[in-house]
Amino acid sequence: MLSSNLNTIWGICLSIFPYFILAFIPVWDQLRYSKKIVALVGILCMLLNIVSVILIIQLFPNWNNLRLFHSVFFLLLYIVVYTATVQGTPSKLLFVALLVKSYADFIVYMAKFFEISYITYVLHRVYVQSSYSFYFNLFQCLILLITYPLIWIFFSKKIAQVMRTINKAWSYLWIIPLVYYVISMAFAAMDVTLIAQWQFLVFNIASFLGFNLIYYVVIEMLEQSEKNVVLTENNEMIKQQLGYQSDYYKKFGACIEETRKGEHDLRHHLNTVLGLIQKKDNEKVEKYISELLGNRLSISDVLYCRNDVVNAILGYYVNTCKKEAIDLSIATQVPNDLEIDETDLCVIFGNILENALEACCKITNSNKFIKISSQFLNNKLYIAVDNSFEGTLRLKNDIYLSQKRKEEAGIGMLSVKGMAKKYDGEASFKAVEKTFCVSIVLNNR
C-alpha cells in the first residue's frame, strides 16, 4: 500500500483535477487569460490544497471537525478563481461551479460507501475512519472511469450550448445545485455505520439522478426559450421581407405599366416629333423630347443589385431613409444565383439595416448616415455596414447589449452571428467614435 502522504496527494488530485477540467469544458472560448495561465493557477490551487491537508493531518490527527470548514473554504476559493479567469455572467459560472461540485460530492460519497463496505464485509476488518485511504482513492478512480465519459458529454454538449443563452432565469438557477451541495454537507456529518447501509447508496444515487434530471429539464427549457425568441425575431424578419418585396413589386409593376403606356403612345410621340422636325421648329422639338424624358419612370431607380430579395430590402430602406432625412449610400454587388438561402439573406440585411436605421433615428443633429457595401469575391459574400449613432453602447462580455431588452444581447446581432456561423463565415461588430461598424463574411455553399 502507498504511504499516508502519497495517498493524500493521490486523493486530492482525484478530487480536483477531473473537476477542474470539467468546469472549463463549457467555457474554453471565454477565458480571460491564456490556457497556460489558467492551468498554472489551477495547479497552484491544487498544491495549496495538498499542503494544507498534509499540515492539518499532522497537526490535528483527528481533523474531522475541520473538514467542513476546509471544504467550504476551498470551494469558495475555486469559485473565486473560476469567475476571475472566465468571462461570463457570474450566475452562469456559479451554476457550473456548483454543478461540478455536486458531481464531485456524489463520487466522494459513493467511494466512501464502497470503501466502508469493502473493508467491513470483504476484508472483514474494523473500519477506521481516515482521510484519502488507498481503498477510498481506488474506488474514486473506478467510479470516475465509469461515470466521467457521460458527464463529459453532458458538459461539452448541453452545458456548453446552454451557456450561450441569455435568460433572466440564470439569476436564480444556481440555487438548484446549491441545494444539492447543502444536502451533501449533511452526508458528511453522518456516522460511518449509516453510510455503509444500502439505503444510503440508494438515496445517494436517487438524489444525484433526480437533481441531474432537473438540470436536464431546465437546460432544455432554456434552449427552447432561446429558440422561441430567435424564431419570433426571424418570423418578424420574414414579414418584413414580404413587405419589402411587396413595395418592390409595386414599383416594378409601375415601371412595367409606364413602359406599356410609353409603347402605346410612342407612335403618337414620334408623329409629333416628326411634324415639328418637318416644320424645322428645333426649339419645340428639344422641349418636347425633354418633357418625355422627364416624365419617364426609370427602372434603374429601383435596382440596387441583381438579387431580388436584397434589392427589395434596399428599396424599402431607401424610401424610409428619405423620410427620416438619413443619408443612405449603397454600393452593393449581390448575385441572383447565390447558394445562400434567400430567407437568410433577408435576416442578415434586414437586421443590420434595421439596427442602423434605429440608431440614426435617435440622433438629434443632422449627422445621420448609413453606408452599405457588399462584394462577391472568391465565392464569398462580403457585407459591410457603417452607421452613425449617439449615446453610449453597452458592452458585456464582448457582446453589445440590446437597446430594447435590459441587460440582454441584441437578438438582431445574435441572429446575424448565427447566420454567419451557418455559412462558415463570421460577423463582427465594433464602435469607432460615433460610427458603428458591421462586417460579415458568408461562404457561398
Name the pLDDT band for 90 (thresholds 50, 70, 90).
Answer: confident
In the block, cell 504511504 appears at: 3
CB 203 within 8 Å of CB 308 = no
Enumerate the β-bridge partners of residue 373. 331, 384
For 137, residues 6+ apart whose C-beta sits below 8 A from its C-beta are 7, 10, 11, 14, 111
In the block, cell 403606356 appears at: 261
CB 8 within 8 Å of CB 54 = yes
3-class DSSP state for residue 32? coil
CB 401 within 8 Å of CB 395 = yes
| H or E element, residue 85 | helix 64-85
Q: What is the pLDDT of residues 253-312, one digit of tens each?
A: 565 566 666 565 666 667 777 777 777 777 777 777 777 666 544 444 557 888 877 887
**Burial classification of residue 189, based on how many CB atoms lie within 10 Å of its CB (0-12 exposed, 13-18 middle, 19 or more buried):** exposed
Give the pLDDT score at 298: 44
Could you write out the three-class secondary structure of 276-310? HHHCCCHHHHHHHHHHHHHCCCCHHHHCCCCCHHH
Q: Using only C-alpha atoms, what is the Rg of the chain? A: 34
Q: What are phi and psi of 27, to 5 degrees?
A: -130, 25
In this structure, which long-range contacts are made by residues 124-129, counting pairs with CB atoms below 8 Å and at least 24 apart in sequence? 127/192, 127/196, 129/64, 129/192
CA nearest neighbour of 99 among 15, 211, 200, 11: 211
CB 363 within 8 Å of CB 388 = yes
Enumerate the β-bridge partners of residue 354. none
| Full DSSP string of 381-426 | EEEEEEEE--S---EETTEEBPSSSTTSB-HHHHHHHHHHHHTT-E
Give the pLDDT score at 438: 93
Name the DSSP letter for residue 27.
G
**Burial classification of residue 253, based on how many CB atoms lie within 10 Å of its CB (0-12 exposed, 13-18 middle, 19 or more buried):** exposed
CA nearest neighbour of 184 among 72, 70, 100, 105: 105
Q: How far apart are CA 160 and CA 168, in angstroms?
A: 18
pLDDT for residue 316 is more than 90: no
Specify whether the backbone of 424 is left (phi greater than 0), alpha (psi in -120 to 50) or beta.
left
Q: What is the pLDDT of residues 47-82, one digit of tens each?
A: 888 888 778 877 776 666 677 777 788 888 888 888
Q: Which of 181-185, 298-302, 336-340, 409-413 has the highest mean pLDDT?
A: 336-340
Q: What is the pLDDT of residues 144-180, one digit of tens each?
A: 999 999 999 988 888 888 887 777 788 888 888 888 8
Looking at this protein, which amino acid is placed at residue 148?
A: Y
Looking at the chain, the whole-number percentage of residues with pLDDT higher than 70 is 81
pLDDT for residue 244 is more than 70: no
Q: Which three cell numbers stand for residue 188?
A: 458528511
Q: Calculate the average pLDDT of the chain.
A: 80
CA nearest neighbour of 103 among 13, 23, 35, 36: 23
CB atoms under 10 Å from CB of 78, counted, come to 21
Give the pLDDT score at 133: 83
Q: How far apart are CA 402 and CA 87, in angstroms?
A: 19
Please report, in angstroms and rounded to a whole number, the separation of the first and last CA atoms in the chain. 61
